[in-house]
Amino acid sequence: MAETIRDLLVEEMQDLYDAEKQLVKALPKMVKAASNEELSEAFGSHLEQTKGQVERLERAFEALDVKPKGKACVAMKGLISEAQEQIESNEKGALADSAMICAAQKVEHYEIAGYGTLKAWAEELGLDDVASLLQETLDEEKEADEKLSTIAGKVISETTTEESEEPTHSARSNR
């Protein structure tokens, strides 16, 4: 139980450490599941970034003289579970890609909230080296979110094109 803001900082870093490690395991599945090449590449690129973010958190722990360890991140487990559901419940294609983008952006927003708060706490505590490491990750998470938004616009166009090419229910029933 946290008794100081520093304790809370460490606890929340442990939460994000576990979250990032969960993502390292989940992202390869999203790379394979994406049918849009740009989306698949974005997931692959973010996998490599995420591995670096794990290492960056380890350096932040070292700067605090704390052994790097995770604290079960239930929120990330749920977000990844939702993403897995989207992969399994939608046929591969633009609609499934759109669903995965939504799931991935939920993850990014969770991380942005976490890293933003932790960076502010580290700054308030005068832990400039830790704050700098957290800021670097925060910047990457924001960039990943922006990239997903850009790809989402392209994929949604594919989705609506696919849907307009499908015969309507009434057209099928007239046959």
Measure the CA–CA gap between 104 and 119, rounded to whole angstroms. Answer: 22
How much is the pLDDT for 163? 62
How much is the pLDDT for 92? 85
Contact between 68 and 58 under an 8 Å Cβ cutoff? The reply is: yes
Measure the CA–CA gap between 107 and 136, rounded to whole angstroms. Answer: 17
Going residue by residue through the chain, which has 175 residues, state the pLDDT in tens, using 9 for 90 and above: 889 999 999 999 999 999 999 999 999 999 999 999 999 999 999 999 999 999 999 999 999 999 999 999 999 999 999 999 888 888 888 889 999 999 999 999 999 999 999 999 999 999 999 999 999 999 999 999 999 999 999 898 766 665 666 655 444 444 3
Q: CA-based angle 42:141:4, to the nearest 5?
A: 150
In the chain the first and final C-alpha atoms are separated, in Å, by 67
How much is the pLDDT for 95? 87
How much is the pLDDT for 174? 44
DSSP H helical ranges for the chain: 5-33, 37-63, 74-89, 94-124, 128-165, 169-173
How much is the pLDDT for 166? 61
Query: Which tokens belong to 94?
Result: 């633009």
Q: How far is CA 67 from the centre of its chain?
A: 24
How much is the pLDDT for 136? 98
* All domains of the chain in start order, with CATH: 5-161 (1.20.1260.10)
Q: CA-based angle 18:144:149, to the nearest 5?
A: 130
How much is the pLDDT for 165? 66
How much is the pLDDT for 170? 43
Contact between 111 and 19 under an 8 Å Cβ cutoff? The reply is: yes
Query: Which tokens belong to 101?
Result: 């983008």
